[in-house]
Amino acid sequence: MLSVLIVCRRVDALLMRTVKSVEELKPQILIDISEGNEALGIRKNRLITRAAHDWVLVLDTDETISQPLAKEIHEIVKHSRSEIHGYKIQYRNYSFGRATSYGGEKFAKTRLFQKRYGLITPLTIHEEIHIDGKINKLNGFIQHYSYRSFIQLLIKFTKYAWQVAGEKRKAHERVTLKKLFLYGPHMVWARVIKDEGWRDGWRGIVIALCFGYMETLTYWLLLWRKLFS
């Protein structure tokens, strides 16, 4: 059997779409709904301890599983291989309604694992799942609808910049002129040119510019926090 873990801030259409995508697996579904500022990693680790089944799948509310992935997960849970403790799953990222594959948008993350072997980093954002054991990779993919509109993307990246600046402040990271003025433009260059984000057309360029904005804003917010808090 399978437990699906979801952390979110509210019940909305995104959450319902995520839940519907896993219904055919007939899993135990655990949802943590909170408007607080507690780190996502901490909340997800708490859900792991409440999972009733050995296999755990972690999803966010802007993610759904594809049919091929659902079939793979069903077979893994049904015929569990004890020597495999976790699985990386490929992401298919959608930007403004269309799949994007360049500029750093093609990656895989560990999302399915045996609960006694998995631990999530207690970070505010971009938490990662660490597996104490052997990891394999699945062929199916998670459909990721992270960039739905320009306004949503701008709000999201502004929030991320504030949260990351807080993490850097706790880590006593230094602010330099290079970080304030060059890290952002370098991020845009890396995503558009080095990682060929231009191949995704205007979508790839807009995403790269937003990442550059977030990188720049993060260090200016860090400077502000150091000076005034």
Are 189 and 118 in a shared domain?
A: no
Are 62 and 172 in a shared domain?
A: no
State the Rg of the chain over Cα. 19
Which pLDDT does position 162 carry in this prediction? Answer: 95
Q: 147, 170, 190: which is the final residue of a domain?
A: 147
In this structure, how many other beta carbons lie within 10 angstroms of the beta carbon of residue 180? Answer: 15
Are 139 and 222 in a shared domain?
A: no
Q: 147, 171, 203: which is the final residue of a domain?
A: 147
Which pLDDT does position 202 carry in this prediction? Answer: 97
Are 102 and 27 in a shared domain?
A: yes
Which pLDDT does position 125 carry in this prediction? Answer: 76
Q: Quote the CA–CA distance of 201 and 100 in Å, as a whole number.
A: 9
pTM: 0.92
Are 137 and 58 in a shared domain?
A: yes
Are 128 and 26 in a shared domain?
A: yes
Q: Reduce the DSSP state of residue 121 to 3 states and report it.
A: coil
Q: Quote the CA–CA distance of 27 and 2 in Å, as a whole number.
A: 5
Contact 210, 153 (CB under 8 A): yes
Are 45 and 56 in a shared domain?
A: yes
Q: 147, 182, 209: which is the final residue of a domain?
A: 147
Q: What is the pLDDT along the chain (229 residues), one digit of tens a residue?
A: 899 999 998 889 999 999 999 999 999 999 999 877 788 889 999 999 999 999 999 999 999 999 999 999 999 998 876 789 999 999 999 999 999 999 999 999 999 999 999 999 887 777 899 999 999 999 999 999 999 999 999 999 999 999 999 999 999 999 999 999 999 999 999 999 999 999 999 999 999 999 999 999 999 999 999 998 7
Q: Render the burial of 6-35: b for 16+ CB within 10 Å, e for the rest.
A: bbbeeeeebbeebbebbeebebebbebeee
Number of domains forming the structure of the chain? 2
Q: Quote the CA–CA distance of 223 and 175 in Å, as a whole number.
A: 6
Are 131 and 155 in a shared domain?
A: no
Q: What range defines the domain where residue 214 resides? A: 150-228
Are 47 and 119 in a shared domain?
A: yes
Q: What is the DSSP letter of 194?
A: I
For residue 109, give the CATH number of its domain. 3.90.550.10
Which pLDDT does position 127 carry in this prediction? Answer: 86
Are 56 and 132 in a shared domain?
A: yes
Are 165 and 118 in a shared domain?
A: no
Question: CA–CA distance from 117 to each of 41, 51, 207, 219 (Å)?
Answer: 16, 13, 35, 36
Are 8 and 105 in a shared domain?
A: yes
